């Protein structure tokens, strides 16, 4: 499966989805002008991956900031991950960033995926 590798910018996150090496990560800042357009390839990649997933998938969110339009798309990403066997979300937040911690907790209440919370 092809690697999806998007380099982060000042308004879009870094995305690395690599089945072979078991790396699944969205990190940085997410406030694109068109969040649906930006996340489309991510959702497509996950859709393809879901039909032939690794035995276990640790999906990392290490976001510094995201806007509300991105939050809707993050929920779409999580929903797309929901049916994958062995899926786990690792939700990273700055140790003094309560809002990012709370955001992760809210997402965890909206989908049936185990979340592990980690600070960085």
Partner 1 sequence: MNYIYDLHRTMMAQKLILVYEGDFTQETTKSILSMAERNLDSSGEDSGTKRKVFNVMVEALQNIVKHSSEQGLQVGSLISKSAIFMISKDDSRYCVMTGNPIAKGNVAKLTANLNDLNSKDKDGLKEMYKEIIKNTQISDKGGAGLGFVDMARKSGEKLEFTFANLDADFDFFCLKVNISREKE
Residues in contact with partner 1 by CB under 8 A are 10-11, 31, 33-36, 65, 67-69, 71-73, 75, 94, 96-99, 106, 109-110
Give whichever of 34 and 52 is closer to partner 1, judged by the CB atom: 34
Per DSSP bridges, beta strands 57-66 and 23-30 are parallel
3-state class of 24 per DSSP?
strand
56 in Cβ contact with 86 (< 8 Å): yes
Give whichever of 53 and 103 is closer to partner 1, judged by the CB atom: 103
CB of 42 to partner 1, least distance (A): 14
59 closest CA partner among 7, 111, 8: 111
Give whichever of 23 and 111 is closer to partner 1, judged by the CB atom: 111
Cβ neighbours around 17 below 10 Å, total: 20
CB of 27 to partner 1, least distance (A): 16
């Amino acid at each position: 499966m092809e690697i999806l590798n998007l380099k982060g910018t000042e308004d879009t996150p870094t995305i690395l989805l690599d089945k072979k090496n078991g790396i699944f990560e969205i990190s940085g800042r997410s406030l694109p002008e068109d969040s649906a357009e930006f996340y489309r390839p991510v959702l497509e990649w996950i859709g393809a991956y879901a039909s032939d997933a690794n035995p276990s998938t640790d999906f990392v969110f290490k976001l510094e900031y995201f806007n509300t339009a991105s939050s809707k798309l993050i929920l779409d990403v999580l929903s797309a991950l929901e049916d994958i066997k062995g899926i786990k979300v690792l939700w990273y937040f700055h140790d003094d960033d309560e809002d990012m911690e709370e955001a992760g907790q809210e997402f965890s209440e909206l989908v049936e995926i185990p979340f592990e919370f980690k600070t960085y």
